[in-house]
Amino acid sequence: MSGEFDALIVGAGGAGLYAALEASDAARQAAGGRPPRTAVLSKLLPMRSHTGAAQGGIGAALGNVEEDRPEWHAFDTVKGGDYLVDQGAAALLAEDAVRAVYDLEHRGLAFSRTDSGRIDQRRFGGHTRNFGEAPVKRSCYAADRTGHQILQTLYQQCIKNGVEFFDEWSVVDVILEGRRCGGVVALQLATGELHVFRARAVLFATGGFGRMFRVTSNAHANTGDGPAVLARRGVPLQDMEFYQFHPTGIRGLGILITEAVRGEGGILRNRQGERFMERYAPTLRDLAPRDMIARAIVSEIKSGNGMRGDGAIDDWVLLETAHLGRDVLEKKLPDITGFSRTYLGVDPVQAPIPVQPTAHYAMGGIPTDMDGRVVADAAGGTYEGLYAAGECACVSVHGANRLGTNSLVDLVVFGRRAGRHMARYVEGAGPAPAASEPEGQIRSTVERLRDGARGANAAALRSEMESTMMEGVGIFRNEQDLARAEQRMGELRGRWHEVRARDTSWRFNTELVGLLELRNLLDLSLLTAAAARRRTESRGAHARDDFPRRDDTRWLQHSLAWLHDGAVAFDSRPVDISTWAPKPRVY
């Protein structure tokens, strides 16, 4: 099968589905003319995407519970991102968040409610009243299943709009003719066949790539397919050095324990029983931004204040919850209460949850403008017919560190804008450029992977990548570790070419898909390590032991990284600081 589409969306999480809804709404409104043919390609079955795992909420200054303003939300986003956020984009995010939450509600999302029937809101890290005075209740939520509700609601609306889906297709290459996108090449899981999807416009919404790291909250599917495929075709990736560790993953497993636990009043304590965040962030304490809390936990652990007290990196601290009471835990936080019971045998109603930081979210990714168009160069030139949105994209509204709840806001605000722009674009665009045999290159790769020869052990390769990234490109970084990690990724990328699938069948060959995903992770690991090594300052989630201070003179700029064969080339883009001048970041 080889399809011709107007708008093709890769990824069926929140950003992709919202874009599909916008594009299909536009199609229904297209009076007279031929409605644009829109389709969504996903490597998973319906509603398995990782948006569904988001727990705590979606931030919007509705002011339902206490006074709030979009301007405060925008400022918090900028400060939370350590001033690497583009301020015009942050203002747009905060203003449009209000409309987006109402829109989701109108589409059926079952938010938790206040006694007066409004959408209920709760506190989240880094979200404050009046430019940092005190925490504010801004996170709109549906218990601790907000992402699940968003994913379901958007998919349900896509059913209503008759959106066409191609399930279990993995994108493996993109068709680029100069700066014009003409579609993608995808591998069908059921048959092992490669197909060309020609399209006038393509939106990448493939999500994150936390699987680079040993301990992560991310799904197995989060392998960065979109950014990696584009990087191999010469598209730059932006701010790859900024990777967020969420402070509270379940000890040893990395499963997320939402920040909403602290939003509802949960407290982090070290082995002395001390509420240590009081020392690191006296005003916001346990509701400081994630990068600061993750660093505080690691500092406590390193100084022997972890629960085991041996200073080893796999030590942990405790998240105290019992004082919240059974009602709050079981009604407002039912899933995380269940996770703790299932995986740790710990009942948060009675005992604290052992937690440690877990690799969680990529602030960096495919650079885009505010309409989702992919940026091609340092001057801000864009590709034609190529879009990105959601975690795989970098607008940038998260800068050097994302605030909790802003990932869901990003999905719905920029997924929608990209879908809308794409629908307009395809009306005037000519047919997709017809590259000859665009699947040729990937076909030879796939044929080699399943030629039945004995090859390098992929599991060992994956494991080395995960440990190298965890140890060398984690929460605290330095030149020596980063140089070693960068070199190691070079070697592992070389060894990947010797890997073979033991499974040589065509049908449902999940091992083959896994090898292609591993290649994506290795490419993104290299870009992340190299970008982290280049940035000789500390900002947001990027903390260098050897350069502990933020350096606005040299580094108040976005990085752009190109993958050139074995090497990484860099350039930079200015940051929009048009509203708030950078200040020291204290909480």
Partner 1 sequence: MKIILRITRSEGDGVSRDADYALEVDPTASILDALLRVKDEQDGTLSFRRSCGHGVCGSDAMRIAGVERLACKTLVRDVAAAENAVVTVAPLAHLPVQRDLMVDQGRFFERYRSVSPFLVARAPAGPAETEQTPKERAAFDDATSCILCASCWSACPVLDQDAAYLGPAALVSAARFVFDSRDAGLPPRRAVLDDPHGAWGCENHFTCTRVCPREIKVTKNINALKRALKP
Separation CA 488–CA 494 (nearest Å): 10
Write down the least CB distance from residue 565 to partner 1, Å.
29
Other Cβ atoms closer than 10 A to 117: 7
Give me the catalytic one of 290, 373, 535, 539: 290
Quick one: which of 4, 37, 47, 464 contacts partner 1 (CB under 8 A)?
Answer: 47
Helices (H) and strands (E) in the chain, counts: 16, 22
DSSP assignment, residue 61? -
159 makes contact with partner 1 (CB under 8 A): yes
Quick one: which of 20, 74, 97, 119 contacts partner 1 (CB under 8 A)?
Answer: 119
Residues 6+ apart with CB under 8 A from 106: none
Quick one: which of 12, 19, 20, 53 contacts partner 1 (CB under 8 A)?
Answer: 53
Site residue total, partner 1 (CB under 8 A): 58
- Provide the residue type at 110 as one letter: A
Write down the least CB distance from residue 60 to partner 1, Å.
11
Quick one: which of 38, 77, 139, 157 contacts partner 1 (CB under 8 A)?
Answer: 157
**Rounded alpha-carbon distances, angstroms, from residue 114 to 73, 146, 238, 242, 264:** 21, 16, 40, 36, 15
547 makes contact with partner 1 (CB under 8 A): no
* Binders in 377-396 for partner 1, by CB under 8 A: none
Write down the least CB distance from residue 510 to partner 1, Å.
5
* Binders in 93-112 for partner 1, by CB under 8 A: 101-102, 105-108, 110-112
Quick one: which of 4, 274, 335, 571 contacts partner 1 (CB under 8 A)?
Answer: 335
* Binders in 236-275 for partner 1, by CB under 8 A: 253, 255
- Smaller CB separation from partner 1, 444 or 505: 505
Quick one: which of 130, 342, 444, 578 contacts partner 1 (CB under 8 A)?
Answer: 342
Separation CA 205–CA 44 (nearest Å): 13
Write down the least CB distance from residue 244 to partner 1, Å.
18
Other Cβ atoms closer than 10 A to 330: 14
459 makes contact with partner 1 (CB under 8 A): yes
Phi/psi of residue 485, nearest 5 degrees = -65, -40
- Provide the residue type at 500 as one letter: R
303 makes contact with partner 1 (CB under 8 A): no
Separation CA 132–CA 107 (nearest Å): 33
- Smaller CB separation from partner 1, 44 or 237: 44
- Provide the residue type at 552 as one letter: D
Quick one: which of 2, 66, 67, 113 contacts partner 1 (CB under 8 A)?
Answer: 113
* Binders in 177-196 for partner 1, by CB under 8 A: 190
DSSP lists the bridge partners of residue 386 as 202
Residue 494-523 contact track with partner 1, rule CB under 8 A, x = bound: -------xxx-x-xxxxx------------
- Smaller CB separation from partner 1, 48 or 484: 48
Quick one: which of 65, 129, 156, 232 contacts partner 1 (CB under 8 A)?
Answer: 156
- Smaller CB separation from partner 1, 43 or 73: 43
- Whether the CB-CB separation of 496 and 518 falls below 8 Å is answered with yes
Q: Rounded to the nearest 10 degrees, how much is the dihedral formed by the CA atoms of 341, 347, 353, 358?
A: 20
- Whether the CB-CB separation of 557 and 259 falls below 8 Å is answered with no
Residue written as token pair 């407002």: 332
Which tokens in the block code for residue 285?
């304490």
Applying CB under 8 A, the span of 145-153, 384-392, 517-525, 537-545 interacting with partner 1 comes to: 145-153
Write down the least CB distance from residue 528 to partner 1, Å.
22
Cα 61 to its chain centre, rounded Å, is 22
Separation CA 97–CA 356 (nearest Å): 31
- Smaller CB separation from partner 1, 206 or 401: 206
Residue 290 annotated as catalytic: yes
Separation CA 365–CA 380 (nearest Å): 15
Phi/psi of residue 148, nearest 5 degrees = -55, -45
Quick one: which of 220, 279, 549, 564 contacts partner 1 (CB under 8 A)?
Answer: 220
- Smaller CB separation from partner 1, 253 or 349: 253
- Smaller CB separation from partner 1, 107 or 232: 107
Helix (H) or strand (E) holding 125: strand 121-129
The number of residues making up the chain comes to 587
Task: Go through 79-104 and write b for each residue having 16 or more CB atoms within 10 A of its CB, e for each that does not.
Answer: bbbbbbbbbebbbbbbbbbbebbeeb
Write down the least CB distance from residue 426 to partner 1, Å.
25
**Catalytic sites, residue numbers:** 290
Binding-site ranges for partner 1 (CB under 8 A): 44-50, 52-53, 62, 101-102, 105-108, 110-119, 142, 145, 148-149, 152-153, 156-157, 159-160, 190, 219-221, 253, 255, 335, 338-339, 342-343, 345, 459, 501-503, 505, 507-511
